[in-house]
Chains A and B, each alone.
Chain A
Amino acid sequence: MRRVIILILLLGAMQLIALATPFGGAGRSILVFGFLILAAYSAGELAVNFRLPKIVGYMIAGAVFGPFAAGVVRPPEVQALNPVGDLAIALIAFIAGAELDLGELRRRGVSLLKVTGTELGVTFVAIFLALILMRNWIPFLAGANWIVVLAFGGLFASVAIVHSPAVTIALLTETRAHGPVARTTLGVVLVADVAVVLLFSVALSLAQALVPSGARGVGSLAATAWEIGGAFPVGLLIGLAIVGYLRITTSDLFLFAILATFFGLEVARLMHTEPLLTLLITGFVAKNFSRHGSGQLLREAMERSAAPVFVVFFALAGAKIELPELARLWPLVLPIALVRAGGIRVGTRLGARWARLPANEARPLWMGLISQAGVAIGLVTVASASYPAAGGEMRTLLLTLIAMNETVGAILFRRALHKAGEVGGGTAEPAEEAEPAPA
């Protein structure tokens, strides 16, 4: 309560300053940035009291003070804070890669592929069929011929199946969860991240072949293949460079972590490789191939620098939620979200059974796969740029779906971790003779 009163006072102070001076620019952005951190932090602490993840609190604060509600944070400020978002995404990718253990990947790689493949396949088909059934109510499909329905339905579904590494990593960092459910969820999310970018590229190429847009294409299949495939050697090289650096010195790792992230991001942009995937591989190599625990030290430095970045990143994500659109489109989005959740649940059950995962690990897995955030938004932007007319309506619908999943997904994942008893790292490994998952 004390913090809420102080926030109200700060809000008043901001209005007073704005009234007293005509200046703005960087000063106003910094002022708003500070307020957003304090508001999001307070909302995050408040959310814990309601047994909600902190990141939901951050997002709510962003939405409340964002351009579509109170208007404290205006579009130029959201724009000015975008570099923080870029840094957050890059840090998340690096930390995600560093979370992956080589030995565990060797042991469980095939299982992860089975679960991910089945889950993505089932969810894609479910959403695709749902869109076809609901086509008369969906703005960009209503009255269109079957070719358009198939092309846009496939494109929409390829974005709708995306998960969120950002929410997953942020929640694992927040709850300090450690255990089979946490590890499997992270593994599936990361493998799926690679797969969906590939799937989206195929869906977009097919859509452009079936429904030529006239807009500038996103590039040839070869370019797309390089974007994905090239991320592996580029990420490997950057990772090895970091390993070499860590062999010589481990001083000033806090600053080095941020510099390395910016460096990796810049190299990925220059080499036209997928930045998230490049940094993910960089993190994986840096952690698994460095000596004497220096990779672990770097990862801890990254996590330390990421904590405040997460607050801003999710608060900004909240500020970008278009509340009027959410209010307008929720009756249409809700069935799609439910079909998606159902598809994920059935898909993970089937995949887990195929991979012979223990039941206690398989049962809550779907709850960790609901959330969507940065990657999905990136793909939506590409899709809408490829189809300026229909793409705009598709964008609005998908962003509303993402906003819904982003919030609900975080709550569900936290619940799954709690149920599994993995919050705070306090879980036992599942017994080897645990029963397989029921279908």
Chain B
Amino acid sequence: MSSALLLVVLVAVAYVAAKLAFQWIGRHLLIVSGAEYLLLGILLGPQVSGLLSPESLRTFIPFMTLALGWMGAMVGMRWYLPGMVRLRGVFYRLAFVQSLATLVIVTGASLLVLQRLFGVTPGYALMPALVLGAIATSSASDAVQLIIQRLGRRSLVVRQIEVAVGMDSLLAIATLAAVFCLNHVGTPLLARSPTAVEWFVISCAVGVAGGALFHLFLGEERDPDRLFISLAGAIIFVTGAASFLQLSPLLPGLLMGAILANTSRNRQQIEDVLHSVERPLYFVLLLCGGALWRPAGGAGLIPVLVFLVARMMSKVYVSRAAAQLNDMTQVLGPNWGRALIGQGGLALAIAFNYLIESNSFFPDIIFTAAVASVLLTDLASARLMQKVVTTSPYEVRNSGEMRPPAEAAGLPRAQAASVDGAA
């Protein structure tokens, strides 16, 4: 048996073992994870077996870039305006405050650490710090869905978390898009190279134009197979356009998804098709992420640790402070921010997008931070989420009827009901 074949067999066995182990752990300990795919990627990659060489990994980059555009579109589909306007403004205010504060705190902390540790100028450290901030801002939606499925109910705190996850994604993606625009090398073919703001506008224009055109292209199509092919073509086209212009494909994807969500009559079918490959795409990102990962050893681990701690603190304490300032602690509970600790696929997508950017600084540190955060928080996100939901003062049944649990909150029923008009 050749050594290459032996390696292939070993990797296959390791994958099956990891898959089974995580399946068992997931069943018994309530864990949302694709960590086995990350492990498989590391096993396949140059760090361990070398079955996937750096050259062969480069051939996968177009596929992974597609995953970014797809992920952007999925995030955009959540921005369904008629559903959003049914929620009161306080939900968005809370979500925006915790998102922005996390971005600012983690960016600031990372900026300081990178400057001090590597002796670079603030201008040099700003881009990687902003990307770390964007990664920190994003949070996972998988755990929310899992808990809703498991507990079979929706409460006000779940609504708040859903809004916060959406806001986190928007801010994280917009920040990354801004980093790409600030970092853009320009184009010699035009009389004048566009400014960063103009690149940002171009980035938005690609998404908006794509959304408008593909709204017409998809029409009333409802057959899942045909919808899948045309939707895949549309996302690949928009992703390719952004990638060709050396812009992040996440923002155009998000805008296209949002336009399709708000203009198409077959919104549900589009959403179903996008979701049908959500998990596989996440696993592909994990797999390729594992293979591409190069450990940020030595001093590089300090920014990673700072990132993890700063993010955790921001998510928990800023959310608590925001709830207190808006008089929502009794509705949401003091620890609702813990439900936002899970990272999910978007964090990895942002890190990967930055990694393949040709003129990126400290890519290994950023990628290590994302991988570590995904691994650590995915293990705990569903349990944290469950705890937050089960201890929240008010609950809403699936039917929409609200009930106060055991008079613990002491909040009048009318006040709680008025918070969520849709309930």
Cβ–Cβ contact A308 & B229, under 8 A: yes
**A247, B306: Cα distance in complex, Å:** 44
Cβ–Cβ contact A32 & B240, under 8 A: yes
Chain B nearest CB, measured from A299 CB (Å):
16
**A393, B53: Cα distance in complex, Å:** 37
- The stretch from A12-20, A100-108, A135-143, A400-408 touching chain B is A12-20
Chain A nearest CB, measured from B287 CB (Å):
9
Chain A nearest CB, measured from B222 CB (Å):
14
Chain B nearest CB, measured from A385 CB (Å):
23
**A11, B58: Cα distance in complex, Å:** 27
Cβ–Cβ contact A263 & B8, under 8 A: yes
Q: Which parts of A283-325 form the interface with B (CB within 8 Å)?
A: 304, 307-308, 311
Contact with A along B272-287 (1 / 0, CB 8 A): 0000110110011000
Q: Which parts of B124-149 form the interface with A (CB within 8 Å)?
A: none
A31 is an interface residue with CB less than 8 A from chain B: yes
B263 is an interface residue with CB less than 8 A from chain A: no
- Residues of the A chain whose Cβ atoms lie less than 8 Å from the Cβ of B59: 83
The residue in B5, B23, B232 that gathers the most chain A C-beta atoms within 10 A of its C-beta is B232
Chain A nearest CB, measured from B38 CB (Å):
14
Among A248, A252, A255, A263, point to the contact of B20 (Cβ < 8 A): A248
Query: Given A20-B187, A30-B65: A10 and B237 within 8 A (CB)?
Result: yes
B165 is an interface residue with CB less than 8 A from chain A: no
B66 is an interface residue with CB less than 8 A from chain A: yes
**A263, B20: Cα distance in complex, Å:** 18
Residue of A nearest to B15 (CB): A259
- Residues of the A chain whose Cβ atoms lie less than 8 Å from the Cβ of B241: 13-14, 17, 31
Chain A nearest CB, measured from B220 CB (Å):
11
Cβ–Cβ contact A34 & B233, under 8 A: yes
- Residues of the B chain whose Cβ atoms lie less than 8 Å from the Cβ of A19: 189
Among A38, A259, A307, point to the contact of B228 (Cβ < 8 A): A307
Q: Which parts of A1-59 form the interface with B (CB within 8 Å)?
A: 2-3, 6, 9-10, 13-14, 17-24, 26-35, 37-38, 41, 45
A435 is an interface residue with CB less than 8 A from chain B: no
Cβ–Cβ contact A41 & B230, under 8 A: yes
- Residues of the A chain whose Cβ atoms lie less than 8 Å from the Cβ of B62: 26, 29-30, 33, 80
**A45, B2: Cα distance in complex, Å:** 47
Cβ–Cβ contact A30 & B284, under 8 A: no
- The stretch from A146-154, A266-274, A333-341, A417-425 touching chain B is A266-274
Query: Given A37-B232, A252-B283, A311-B229: A23 and B246 within 8 A (CB)?
Result: yes
Cβ–Cβ contact A21 & B217, under 8 A: no
Size band of the interface chain A makes with B: 35 or more
Chain B nearest CB, measured from A427 CB (Å):
22
Q: Say whether chain B's binding surface is mostly helix, strand, loop, or mixed.
A: helix
Query: Given A30-B244, A308-B228: A20 and B189 within 8 A (CB)?
Result: yes
Cβ–Cβ contact A270 & B228, under 8 A: no
Q: Which parts of A259-281 form the interface with B (CB within 8 Å)?
A: 259, 263, 266-267, 270-271
Cβ–Cβ contact B233 & A37, under 8 A: yes
Contact with A along B257-299 (1 / 0, CB 8 A): 0000000000000000000110110011000000000000000
Q: Which parts of A212-231 form the interface with B (CB within 8 Å)?
A: none
The residue in A23, A28, A30, A254 that gathers the most chain B C-beta atoms within 10 A of its C-beta is A30
Contact with A along B212-237 (1 / 0, CB 8 A): 01101101000001101110111111
- Residues of the B chain whose Cβ atoms lie less than 8 Å from the Cβ of A311: 229
Among A10, A21, A34, point to the contact of B239 (Cβ < 8 A): A34
**A80, B20: Cα distance in complex, Å:** 35
- Residues of the B chain whose Cβ atoms lie less than 8 Å from the Cβ of A29: 62, 240
Residue of B nearest to A39 (CB): B233
Residue of A nearest to B59 (CB): A83
Chain A nearest CB, measured from B266 CB (Å):
15
**Besides the known contacts A2-B217, A258-B280, 13 further A-B residue pairs in the complex with CB atoms under 8 A apart:** A6-B213, A6-B217, A20-B189, A21-B187, A27-B246, A30-B62, A34-B237, A37-B233, A41-B233, A241-B12, A249-B23, A255-B283, A308-B229
Could you list some 25 contacts between A and B, CB below 8 A?
Answer: A6-B214, A10-B213, A17-B245, A18-B244, A21-B244, A23-B246, A24-B244, A26-B65, A27-B243, A30-B62, A30-B236, A30-B240, A30-B243, A31-B240, A35-B237, A37-B232, A38-B237, A41-B226, A41-B229, A45-B226, A249-B20, A252-B279, A255-B279, A270-B4, A311-B229
Which 10 interchain pairs have the tightest Cβ spacing? Answer: A31-B240, A34-B237, A30-B240, A34-B236, A27-B244, A37-B233, A27-B243, A38-B233, A255-B280, A270-B5
